[in-house]
Amino acid sequence: MSESNATPMTDRETAAKLKSLELAKRDEQSAAGRFIYWAGVLFSLAHIYFNTLGTMSELWVSAIHFGGFALICALMVPSIRSSSAAKQKLALVLDVLVGLAAIACTLYLIGFEDALYDRGVHFIASDWFFSLCAIFIALEMARRTTGWFIPSMILVALTYVFWWGPYIEGIFGFAGLSLETLLYRSYFSSEGMFGQIARISWTYVFMFILFGAFLVKSGAGDFIIELSRCAAGRFVGGPGFVAVLGSGLMGSVSGSSVANTVSTGVITIPLMQRAGFPARFAAGVEAAASTGGQLMPPVMGAGAFIMASYTQIPYIDIIAIAALPALLYFLSVGFYVRVEAKRSHAHAVELDSRPIGEVFKEGWHFLLPLVVLVALLIYGFTPTYAAGISIISVVVASWLSRQPMGPKDILDALAQGAKNMATTAMLLVSIGLVVNVVAMTGIGNVFSLMVTEWAGGSLLIMLVLVALASLILGMGLPVTASYIVLATLSAPALYNLIAESQLVDLIAAGNLPEQAKMIFMLISPDQFALLSAPMSEADALALLAQVPDDFRSQLLEQALDPSILAATLLSAHMIIFWLSQDSNVTPPVCLTAFAAAAIAKTPPMATGFTAWKIAKGLYIVPLLFAYTNFIGGSAQEVMTIFLFSLFGLYAFVGFMEGHLEGKLNILLRLVSGVCALAMLWPHGQLAIDLAGLVVFLGLFLYSRRQNGDQAQAASNGVVAK
């Protein structure tokens, strides 16, 4: 059935579809809702204290973080979803008991940690009970908020350690640990539930989610939407550009793709339909653009903070490097909008928007907190302190508006920040159990070696394997969890392969540093003389193959500059982070596309495929990370790569759509594809890039002229009639 003939859904059906994408939450006006509100306020204030003035043990803070948010999450998301009053009361009783049990687990850890060490880390009955209870609560909260996939994965990982791991033969075999050791490392130590991922959760992630809640409450979200409408709305296909620009700006505040879709899509999707865009395309653009919210600094979901923790690269450096790639992604979505606007003859629509100068004059102060945040990060403040001061700046900046934030607004923002964080906190705490298993068993190294062997030394095959793994994991995991798991398992292998490709280039050019040559002297003295002269890439690979695995990391450290190694590590993580976003727009499970489809009243799966096509930048930009100096290069290199990639992506869109300013025949479509390859392929030849750019610009102008001639002919035909 075509979209135009599909039976339109009522507003009630649309609302039901949108609600199905959200968690079934309790009424905010109920007693439980009021408790959640005030608990959220107090817990937000407690976290601000922990992150600024607090001196409490990190393990204890992580445990408090778990207990408090488990209570809030248990009350927010009922265990039993039913319209029956009796079942709702039963669910409330069960949820209160689960929440209180989580608090008890926190208090037990704080009160009896020293007693456990006094006994020589030997469990007594209460240790067994509370450690098992805490893990069960983490699994239950993960089930309520994300479904059965994550708790099932955690159970498989935990039982592998003490039960079925010893029965596995081959590289995945594991001697096994006792259940007591597993529970100790999962609950009492700073390695499992309350380890690195939990610390990231209660520091960076919470503070920036709270910062986003304050921005939205202050009215910054409405300002962003109106500013986008003013800036892009008057162009041909303007509503599509509003979706792209609005989602990009909102992403810098929320870092959530579904939140972006719901907040901006209810405005932009109907506008795009009014302008003449097909409904499915309008929904696909909104989903693809909203997915970019996780890529846009300064928030980037939780990924930037986790990446900073994994790589030990400063957060400010990561968001500075991530800005141009994110811009490249949004522009690639904008190219699809432009092409579709020309093909569908989309017309300008009256957006009832005020002059951009007037809007900016009234709302410029909403940008001050972002300026404060970036300035503090550059000045050297930690991200948590910077976020805390920026939260205060939101309140101060709001006093410059017609609706300044008062005490009630501040309390609302504190409560909303905690509620927004509850499900994310439970997800990160539970995923910490999997990360702990990977660290305990060494399975991450085994997986990396296996993937490296499958790739056969080919970086492209490695990228394909990581992309497939991210797609499969994304069907059951949210993007943050998908990134954590993939980064833990495959980042080392990807890092080594990218670094070794750079090492091969050095060997082939005869530029290997002297200290690195000495390693070859120890391993293969008869080959040492060859290192002083240039050689073919095949000979360089053969020479590197003689280096045992135990010496590879040492060779990389001796041969490559530390800044290059840091950039390579960041490239590996950025590749995984970008690829982990594809589950937002890739069927069969793509919640962002489904949310957009519910607004546009289009088939969810078909909308998912449209969004997947429009979001092709998610796959192309990681290739630039892997094969070029887009990360870690000089300013001139980075800008050169950016500019040619920009036009290369436009040429790629022309090839995919068979249309630029006008329709392209099969030959011109192939020419557009060749131009895209010339500018995107990492050949390192400026002449080829320039040739591709010149031909593409000629093709663009030709299609523009042809489109003008066709429009003139059509106009003359109408006049003649």
Q: Report pLDDT digits (tens) over 674-699.
A: 999 999 998 889 999 999 999 999 99
Most confident by average pLDDT, 14-23, 29-38, 133-142, 476-485: 133-142
Question: What's the CA gap between 397 and 211, in Å, rounded?
Answer: 13
Chosen domain end from 177, 194, 211: 194
Is the predicted pLDDT of residue 719 greater than 70, yes or no?
A: no
Question: What's the CA gap between 419 and 35, in Å, rounded?
Answer: 12
Q: Are 207 and 181 in the same domain?
A: no
∠ at Cα 669 (668, 673), nearest 5°? 115
Structural domain count of the chain? 4
Omega within 30 of 0 (cis) for the link into 78? no
In a domain, 503, yes or no: yes
Closest alpha carbon to 96 in 115, 72, 114, 112 = 72
Tens-digit pLDDT profile for residues 273-305: 887 889 999 999 999 998 888 888 876 766 777
Chosen domain end from 535, 556, 578: 578
Name the pLDDT band for 423 (thresholds 50, 70, 90).
confident
Tens-digit pLDDT profile for residues 506-545: 888 888 888 888 877 777 777 777 777 888 888 888 888 8
The reported pLDDT for the residue numbered 620 is 94
In a domain, 628, yes or no: no
In a domain, 624, yes or no: no
Inter-residue contact 487 to 592 (CB < 8 Å): no
In a domain, 181, yes or no: yes
Question: What's the CA gap between 344 and 254, in Å, rounded?
Answer: 32
In a domain, 261, yes or no: yes
Question: What's the CA gap between 106 and 57, in Å, rounded?
Answer: 13
Tell me 663's DSSP state: B
Where in the sequence is the domain holding 511, given as residue range(s)?
442-578
Contacts of 8 (CB under 8 A, 6+ apart): 601
Q: Are 559 and 655 in the same domain?
A: no
Instruction: Write down the pTM of the prediction.
Output: 0.82
Q: Are 254 and 350 in the same domain?
A: yes
Q: Are 653 and 526 in the same domain?
A: no
The reported pLDDT for the residue numbered 539 is 83
| Amino acid letter, 356 | I
Name the pLDDT band for 401 (thresholds 50, 70, 90).
confident
Q: Mean pLDDT throughout 445-463?
A: 84
The reported pLDDT for the residue numbered 183 is 94
Q: Mean pLDDT throughout 610-628?
A: 93
Question: What's the CA gap between 5 and 24, in Å, rounded?
Answer: 32
Phi, psi (deg, nearest 5) at residue 663: -70, 140
Most confident by average pLDDT, 95-104, 419-428, 477-486: 95-104
Chosen domain end from 532, 547, 578: 578
In a 13 Å sphere around the CA of 356, the CA atoms on its Cβ side amount to 10
Tens-digit pLDDT profile for residues 25-44: 666 677 888 999 999 999 99
Is the predicted pLDDT of residue 101 greater than 80, yes or no?
A: yes
Inter-residue contact 370 to 290 (CB < 8 Å): no
In a 13 Å sphere around the CA of 382, the CA atoms on its Cβ side amount to 10
Tens-digit pLDDT profile for residues 161-201: 999 988 888 778 888 889 999 999 999 998 889 998 899 88
Q: Are 208 and 337 in the same domain?
A: yes
The reported pLDDT for the residue numbered 709 is 63
Question: What's the CA gap between 507 and 559, in Å, rounded?
Answer: 10
Inter-residue contact 485 to 479 (CB < 8 Å): no
Inter-residue contact 25 to 40 (CB < 8 Å): no
Is the predicted pLDDT of residue 109 greater than 90, yes or no?
A: yes
The reported pLDDT for the residue numbered 7 is 39
Tokens of 9: 């859904």
Q: 125-139, 351-365, 413-427 — which is least confidently predicted?
A: 351-365
Q: Are 391 and 264 in the same domain?
A: yes
Q: Mean pLDDT throughout 258-266?
A: 77
Phi, psi (deg, nearest 5) at residue 466: -65, -40
The reported pLDDT for the residue numbered 63 is 96
Q: What percent of the chain lies above the pLDDT cut of 70?
A: 90
Q: Whole-number mean pLDDT of the chain?
A: 84
Closest alpha carbon to 60 in 110, 24, 14, 7 = 110
The dihedral built from the CA positions of residue 701, 659, 609 and 250, taken in this order, carries a sign that is positive
Q: Are 253 and 174 in the same domain?
A: no
The reported pLDDT for the residue numbered 9 is 43
Q: Are 369 and 392 in the same domain?
A: yes
Tens-digit pLDDT profile for residues 460-470: 999 998 888 88
Tokens of 604: 């969810």
Q: Are 182 and 239 in the same domain?
A: no
Tell me 512's DSSP state: -
Question: What's the CA gap between 354 and 365, in Å, rounded?
Answer: 18
Strand partners, 663: 659
Contacts of 242 (CB under 8 A, 6+ apart): 228, 229, 232, 233, 267, 268, 271, 351
Tokens of 441: 């068993």
The residue ranking higher by pLDDT, 549 or 142, is 142
Q: How long is the chain?
A: 721
In a domain, 237, yes or no: yes
Q: Is 525 exposed, middle or buried (0-12, 13-18, 19+ CB in 10 A)?
A: exposed
Omega within 30 of 0 (cis) for the link into 588? yes
Closest alpha carbon to 395 in 423, 365, 417, 422 = 365
Q: Are 25 and 172 in the same domain?
A: yes
Q: Are 310 and 327 in the same domain?
A: yes
Question: What's the CA gap between 293 and 322, in Å, rounded?
Answer: 12
Name the pLDDT band for 2 (thresholds 50, 70, 90).
very low
Name the pLDDT band for 710 (thresholds 50, 70, 90).
low
In a domain, 217, yes or no: yes
Residue 259: in which H helix or E strand, if any? Answer: helix 257-275
Q: Are 152 and 225 in the same domain?
A: no
In a domain, 1, yes or no: no
Tokens of 629: 């100096």
Cα dist from 640 to 293, 359, 554, 646, 680, whole Å: 25, 35, 33, 10, 11
- DSSP-based three-state secondary structure for 659: strand
Which residue stretches of 380-478 are H helix? 383-398, 407-441, 443-455, 459-474
The reported pLDDT for the residue numbered 508 is 86
The reported pLDDT for the residue numbered 644 is 97
Tokens of 709: 């001639």
The residue ranking higher by pLDDT, 274 or 405, is 405
Q: 50-59, 216-225, 711-720 — which is least confidently predicted?
A: 711-720
Question: What's the CA gap between 46 and 314, in Å, rounded?
Answer: 26
The reported pLDDT for the residue numbered 507 is 85
